[in-house]
Amino acid sequence: MTTFTKGVTPSTEKYDGSSLRVLIVHTRWNYEIVEALVRGATETMTSEYNVKAENISVQSVSGSYELPFAAQSLIKASKMGTQWFNVVICIGVLIKGSTMHFEYIAEAVSQGIMRVSLDSGVPIVFGVLTCLDDEQALERAGLGNKESKHNHGIDWGRCAVEMGVKNHKWMSGTI
């Protein structure tokens, strides 16, 4: 069988996040899992890319459905001040139940986050897990018992630094 390396190949560039301003908006639904993802993203940005802890603003909302609105409001507020966010990470965990809620929320949140990002011109990392059961959610936050567990927050932190640095460069006319 042909195999391949799953997931993202690390960038060969070494990004400097020391002047980045990052906004993390996370949910309090499924908080123990969300907390691990937020920690994975935050620790990666500070330890691997020199992002300053004081330049990471962390805000919470109730559930994933609220993420696009909160991101939009906070981006607007930051633009009114002098300190823009270079990049945003929206973090939430949706777990499928027995009704159709999962489908409606997942669709609305993914479309909403993309819309806010394109309309605002601020890159937003899609840090929302859409899991079919609890075990999938735990495994993707680096929790649980399986050997294959991996904290996706780490990837979101890396993606945020790359997009924040690249977008800053692109917007200043350097490609």
Q: Which residues bind ligand RBF (CB under 6 A)?
A: 27, 29-30, 62-66, 92-95, 97, 99, 101, 105
Minimum separation from the CB atom of position 60 to ligand RBF (A): 11
Identity at 5, one-letter amino acid code: T
The C-alpha atoms of residue 35 and residue 58 are separated, in whole angstroms, by 11
Of 124, 140, 18, 32, nearest in space to 74 by CA = 124
Residue whose CB is less far from ligand RBF, 23 or 93: 93
With respect to ligand RBF, which residue has the nearer C-beta, 99 or 145? 99
How far apart (Å, rounded) are the C-alpha atoms in residues 113 and 70? 10
> Which residue's CB is nearer to ligand RBF, number 87 or number 137?
137
Q: Which residue lies nearer to ligand RBF by CB, 55 or 64? A: 64
- Asked if 101 is an active-site residue, the reply is yes
Distance separating alpha carbons of residues 127 and 92, to the nearest angstrom? 6
Report, in Å, the least distance between residue 14 CB and ligand RBF.
Answer: 34
Query: If you ran DSSP here, which 8-state letter would residue 125 be given?
Result: E
Min dist CB 7 to ligand RBF, Å, is 23
Of 29, 21, 111, nearest to 68 by C-alpha is 111
The nearest distance, CB 19 to ligand RBF, in angstroms, is 32
Residue 22's DSSP bridge partners are: 56, 87
Beta-carbon neighbour count of residue 118 at 10 Å? 11
Residue tagged active-site, from 26, 101, 150, 152 = 101
Q: Which residue is nearest to ligand RBF (CB)?
A: 63
User: What are 13's two structure tokens?
Assistant: 């560039």
Residue with tokens 């309090």: 28
Active site residues: 101
